[in-house]
Amino acid sequence: MDALRRAPLVTAVAVATVFVAVLVTGLFAALLGGGERLVAAWAGDVPVSVYLVPGADLEAAREAARRIAPGRPVEAVAPREALARLRASLGEEAGALDGLGEDVLPASVEVRTSGLGPAGVRELAARLRGVPGAAEVDFGGAWLERIATLLARARAVGVALLVAVALATAVLVSNTLRLAVYARRDEIEIMKLVGATDLHVGAPFVVEGALQGLLGAGLAVGALLGASAALLPRLRGALPLAAPLTRADVLPGGLLALLLAGGTALGVAASLLSLRRFLRRA
For the beta carbon of residue 196, count every other beta carbon within 10 angstroms.
Answer: 13
Residue 226 confidence class, pLDDT cut points 50, 70, 90: very high
What mean pLDDT do residues 10-33 have?
Answer: 85
Extended beta strands in 104-198, E state: 108-111, 134-138
- Greater model confidence, 159 or 178: 159
pLDDT in tens, 246-281: 788 888 889 899 999 988 988 888 888 777 655 554
Contact 188, 282 (CB under 8 A): yes
Please state the domain extents for the chain.
2-42+144-281, 47-139
Task: Pick from 6-20, 45-59, 100-114 the range whose average pLDDT is largest.
Answer: 45-59
Three-point CA angle 240, 43, 259, nearest 5°: 75
The number of helix segments (H) and strand segments (E) in the chain equals: 10, 4
Residues forming a β-bridge with 76:
109
Which architecture does CATH list for 47-139? Answer: 2-Layer Sandwich (3.30)
Phi, psi of 239, rounded to the nearest 5 degrees: -125, 100
- Greater model confidence, 170 or 98: 170
User: Does pLDDT of 218 surpass 90?
Assistant: yes
pLDDT in tens, 123-150: 888 888 888 988 888 876 556 667 777 7
Query: Which region among 12-26, 37-51, 99-113, 223-237 has the lowest average model confidence (pLDDT)?
Result: 37-51
Contact 263, 224 (CB under 8 A): no
pLDDT in tens, 181-216: 666 666 666 666 666 565 666 677 788 888 888 999
User: Does pLDDT of 75 surpass 70?
Assistant: yes
Amino acid at 114: S
What secondary structure does DSSP assign to 245-277, as a single string? Answer: --HHHHS-HHHHHHHHHHHHHHHHHHHHHHHHH
d(CA 48, CA 139): 5
For the beta carbon of residue 168, count every other beta carbon within 10 angstroms.
Answer: 12
pLDDT recorded at residue 260: 94
